[in-house]
Amino acid sequence: MAVKVRIPTPLRKLTEGKGEVEGTGKTIGDLLEDLDGKFPGIRERLCDESGNLRRFVNIYVNEEDIRFRQGKETILSDGDEISIVPAIAGG
Amino acid sequence: MLKIPSDIVDEMIAHARVDFPRECCGILAGKDDGISHIYQMTNTDRSRVSYLMDPKEQIKVFKEIRTLGLELKAIYHSHPNHPAYPSTTDVELAYYPEAVYLIISINNSRETKIRGFRILDEEITEAELSFPPHHG
Ligand SMILES: [Zn+2]
């Protein structure tokens, strides 16, 4: 499945400055692998060592938080719009 | 120089006072160096020492900002009984280098002080602020 992925500013160093990139995958997990092939290091910024989504990273498929779907197993369809949105947090 | 109209400054301060002694948080949006919109957000941490914006509200506000043709200009939060300077956690979690991080220090007498910072690659630079009077 070919999808569009919106990249937040701090990760654009990895995507040659692009705010939107194309990716493919059957699931979010596949998509992250595909993106990591094109933009090495991006998956590590989004997932921890055990592969779980980092606490301060939110991923949306057509505006729906993947945590409320099947997480990294969430199935993608052609033309889906994926947004990577860092949390706004601090102390 | 980030220009924040005085009525928006008043609303941020009022927000910090209502949520005291817990931290409040919110978003300012506008165009160029001016601010036109304020969004008070829910601090889901409900804490005196941290904040985490409700992600659902956050994405809704981001969408509205895009629809209105505006940009995210500033992210504000309060420091109850702490100085208006970024904490270690603020620096670690500064994922929005395009925004000015505004910190409202507020004490037990409800006195406030606002300062603004850019946080880029863990480096803190003070951002100049001005508070022009609100017209109509
Ligand atoms: Zn803080």
pLDDT in tens, B1-38: 999 999 999 999 999 999 999 999 999 999 998 999 99
Task: Spell out which residues of chain A touch residue B62, defining contact as CB-CB under 8 Å.
Answer: 85
Query: Is the reported ipTM for this assembly greater than 0.90?
Result: yes
Give A15-28 as a DSSP string: TTT-SEEEEE-SBH
Paired tokens of A54: 């980092």
Does A63 contact B at CB distance below 8 Å?
yes
Does A87 contact B at CB distance below 8 Å?
yes
d(CA B101, CA A2): 36
d(CA B112, CA B38): 18
d(CA A35, CA A43): 8
Contact B97 A58 (CB under 8 A): no
All structural domains of chain A: 2-86 (3.10.20.30)
Q: Output the pLDDT for position A1.
A: 85
Kindly report the three-state secondary structure assignment for every residue of chain B: CEECCHHHHHHHHHHHHHHCCCCCEEEEEEECCEEEEEEEECECCCCCCCEEECHHHHHHHHHHHHHCCCEEEEEEEEEECCCCCCCHHHHHCCCCCCCEEEEEEECCCCCEEEEEEEEECCEEEEECEECCCCCC
pLDDT in tens, A18-59: 999 999 999 999 999 999 999 999 999 999 999 999 999 999
- Answer yes or no: is pLDDT of B126 > 60: yes
Task: Spell out which residues of chain A touch residue B90, defining contact as CB-CB under 8 Å.
Answer: 90-91
Q: Which residue of B has its CA nearest to A56?
A: B93
Q: How does DSSP classify residue A55?
A: T
